[in-house]
Amino acid sequence: MKQTTTHLICAPTLPTPAGVSAFHVSTGQAVEAEAPLLSLALDDGQQVVVPAPGAGLVGSFAVTLGDTVNSDELLLMMEIEEPDNDWLALVDGLPAACAAAPVATPIISGEILQVTRFAAQLALRLGVDLTEVPPNQSGIIDQEALEGWVRRQLSNRNVMR
């Protein structure tokens, strides 16, 4: 069985802001690795094509045609097929106490965001930049962390009025 993970596809490093000039795929479409997903137009007329990092299904778009984006801004989400390396078979042979324990230790780094799928989808719908949301004590941005951050932002806006 193929395993998939949600990938956040962001704009590459750009010399200037760019406009979303074309979509080469649609939501729900299956694509191969390196397939063109969308194009960005730079001020000098140069087109930058954003490719799929791997084979998978196109999820939801965070941009629309004509939007202006900067380097590293979220463009879309994809479900990428992971190599079938049978890593889950390791869990099956463990004693019950080991299998119930957390299998992953969070990696806390300024370069990596760990986000639950639901929190990523909610952030996309709300237009929240996940780099601004502090993670929970485990180093993961989950629904509770995201909702708490949104509530604080809304509260701060009401106080400023």
Query: What 3-state class would DSSP assign to 145?
Result: helix
Asked if residue 147 has pLDDT above 60, the reply is yes
Asked if residue 65 has pLDDT above 70, the reply is yes
User: pLDDT tens digit string along 82-132?
Assistant: 766 554 454 445 444 444 444 444 444 556 778 888 888 888 877 888 888
Any idea where the domains of the chain sit in the sequence?
A: 1-83, 107-161
Is 81 within 8 Å of 4 (Cβ atoms)?
Answer: yes
Torsions phi, psi of 127, nearest 5? 75, 30
- The full DSSP string for 52-77 is -SSSEEEEEES--TT-EE-TT-EEEE
pLDDT confidence tier of residue 19, bands split at 50, 70 and 90: very high
Q: What is the pLDDT of residue 160?
A: 56
Q: What is the pLDDT of residue 90?
A: 47
User: pLDDT tens digit string along 31-62?
Assistant: 999 999 999 999 999 999 999 998 999 988 99
Supply the CATH classification number for the domain 107-161: 4.10.320
Q: What is the pLDDT of residue 94?
A: 45
Q: Helices 143-160 & 117-126, crossing angle to 10 degrees?
A: 30
Q: What is the pLDDT of residue 97?
A: 44
Supply the CATH classification number for the domain 1-83: 2.40.50.100
Global pTM reads: 0.55
Q: Token pair for residue 142?
A: 């989950």
> Over the range 32-47, which residues count as b (16 or more CB within 10 Å of their CB) and which as e?
eeebebbbbbeeeeee
Phi-psi region of 115 (alpha: psi -120 to 50; beta: other; left: phi over 0): beta
Looking at per-residue confidence, does 113 or 72 come out higher? 72
Q: What is the pLDDT of residue 103?
A: 42
